[in-house]
């Protein structure tokens, strides 16, 4: 990048000025990762100091049966396929209860768009989960699922959200966003929920007092300009509603080995390469810099591995998800040795080792528990260090 432009961007960031679309594209064109990290770290430190938030949650996928066949998805199964499953309500509750000892504060529930499950199943599951685990917050359903519920119930999103909230819904999840630009979206997304509906449903949720996360699936067929466009659409919506708490860049995954049947379901795998760790760090940094109105940027370590998760804390990230005991959607597409279990202590050490102060949060990003600041490097080096995969 031209030195003059670099100085200009740097000055804007340090003055707290809003970056433009062109600025975002220019930042993606820079290969000076250290510089990008420094800028993003400045912004992250201004907003969140040395804190790294995490929550203790469990991911629950009620069904993997889905009417859609999104090109990047290795999770969905068709009815009757060998390992297609749908949990009964009591099974879902039993699975959630298994985690009680972990002192979880949140259940994160996303599912396929099941062709025949009735709408009433979904609020019933929430009600039973809430009754079984009253202290646990329920973060459930993507905007895509809410739009699906409109279709199968004949109700409006307004009525659906009211009923789900009455059943215990605390927050929607941020999924279904992928890349909003139609130029890309038409090739990867196979359901009917696009920017207009996704934003309509999150806007509605925010108007009801809900806070929600936002996401972006990157590293497939999109270009940096599509990532910038995606963030700017969300930034504009955030200006309007203030309802997004966090932005989560999700790295698109190849499924070299499908855990169940050896099939490759990911239809764009042959013509894509996954984002490298450097590209992921750049994406975290640019997202942090563009998103001046969303308080947190999250690294979902399951998709990045723990080393990149640690490094991401110096590239704008201040939130790690979470103490996950099982996560099917990603793990069906993972052959990189990422562990499928992280407990609270593992996460604390991962954060301290990177030189940050862990803070446990709940679904609304309220503090559950503050921990000590990181020991000094000299103190940390006095003990054998854990090597993160
Ligand atoms: S991404 Fe979601 S909607 Fe698309 S095929 Fe997979 S489970 Fe279905």
Handedness of CA 107, 360, 245, 184 (dihedral sign): negative
C-alpha 175 – ligand 1 centre gap (Å): 10
CB distance 66 to ligand 1 below 6 Å: yes
How many residues are given for the chain?
389
Range with the poorest average pLDDT among 34-43, 128-137, 329-338, 366-375? 329-338
Lowest mean pLDDT across 167-181, 205-219, 329-343: 329-343
pLDDT band at 334 (very low <50, low <70, confident <90, very high): very low
Annotated binding-site residue? 73: yes
Distance, CA of 361 to CA of 365 (rounded, Å): 5
Question: Is residue 200 very low, low, confident or very high in pLDDT (cuts 50, 70, 90)?
Answer: very high
Q: Is 51 in the pocket of ligand 1 (CB under 6 A)?
A: no
Regarding the beta carbon of 68 and ligand 1, being less than 6 Å apart is answered yes
- pLDDT beyond 50 at 312: yes
- Phi, psi values for residue 74, rounded to 5°: -110, 10
Give the homologous superfamily in CATH for domain 22-380: Aldolase class I (3.20.20.70)
Take atom 7 of ligand 1 and give the residue whose Cα is closest: 112
Query: What is the value of pTM for the model shown?
Result: 0.92
Closest approach atom of ligand 1 to CA 189: 4
pLDDT band at 330 (very low <50, low <70, confident <90, very high): very low
Give 228's pLDDT tier (boundaries 50, 70, 90): very high
Give distance in angstroms: CA of 238 to centre of ligand 1: 25
Edge to edge, what strands does the sheet with 212-218 contain? Answer: 212-218, 244-251, 296-300, 319-321, 51-55, 357-361, 367-370
Ligand 1 atom 4: residue of nearest CA:
70
Say how far apart CA 193 and CA 147 lie, in whole Å: 7
Atom of ligand 1 nearest to the CA of 111: 7
Give yes or no for residue 333 having a pLDDT over 60: no
Q: What is the mean pLDDT of the chain?
A: 90
Kindly report, residue by residue over 17-32, the tens digit of the pLDDT: 999 999 999 999 999 9
């Amino acid at each position: 990048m031209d030195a003059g432009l670099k100085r200009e961007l740097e000055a804007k960031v340090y003055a707290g000025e809003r970056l433009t679309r062109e600025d975002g594209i220019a930042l993606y064109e820079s290969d000076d990762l250290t510089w990008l990290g420094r800028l993003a770290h400045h912004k992250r430190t201004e907003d969140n100091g040395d804190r790294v938030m995490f929550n203790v949650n469990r991911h629950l996928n009620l069904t993997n049966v889905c009417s859609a066949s999104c090109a990047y998805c290795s999770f969905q199964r068709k009815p009757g396929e060998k390992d297609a499953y749908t949990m009964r309500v009591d099974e879902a509750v039993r699975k959630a209860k298994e985690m009680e000892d972990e002192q979880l504060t949140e259940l994160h529930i996303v599912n396929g768009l099941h062709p025949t499950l009735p709408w009433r199943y979904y609020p019933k599951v929430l009600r039973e989960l809430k009754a079984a685990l009253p202290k646990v917050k329920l973060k459930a359903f993507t905007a895509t699922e809410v739009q699906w519920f409109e279709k199968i119930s004949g109700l409006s999103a307004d009525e659906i959200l009211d009923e789900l909230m009455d059943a215990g819904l605390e927050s929607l999840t941020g999924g279904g966003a992928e890349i909003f630009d139609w130029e890309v979206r038409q090739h990867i997304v196979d359901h009917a929920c696009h920017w207009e509906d996704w934003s309509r449903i999150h806007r509605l949720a925010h108007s009801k007092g809900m806070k929600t996360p936002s996401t972006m699936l990157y590293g497939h067929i999109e270009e940096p300009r599509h990532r910038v466009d995606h963030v700017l659409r969300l930034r504009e919506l955030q200006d309007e509603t203030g309802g997004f708490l966090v932005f989560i860049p999700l790295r698109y995954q190849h499924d070299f080995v499908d855990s169940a049947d050896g099939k490759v379901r990911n239809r764009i795998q042959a013509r894509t390469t996954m984002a490298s760790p450097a590209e992921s760090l750049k994406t975290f940094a640019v997202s942090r810099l563009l998103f001046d109105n969303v308080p947190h940027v999250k690294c979902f370590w399951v998709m990045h591995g723990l080393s990149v998760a640690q490094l991401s804390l110096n590239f704008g990230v201040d939130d790690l998800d979470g103490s996950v005991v099982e996560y099917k959607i990603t793990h069906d597409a993972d052959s990189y040795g990422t562990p499928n279990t992280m407990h609270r202590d593992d996460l604390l050490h991962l954060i301290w080792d990177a030189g940050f102060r862990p803070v446990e949060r709940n679904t609304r990003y309220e503090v559950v528990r503050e921990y000590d600041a990181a020991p000094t490097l000299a103190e940390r080096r006095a003990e054998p260090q854990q090597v993160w995969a």
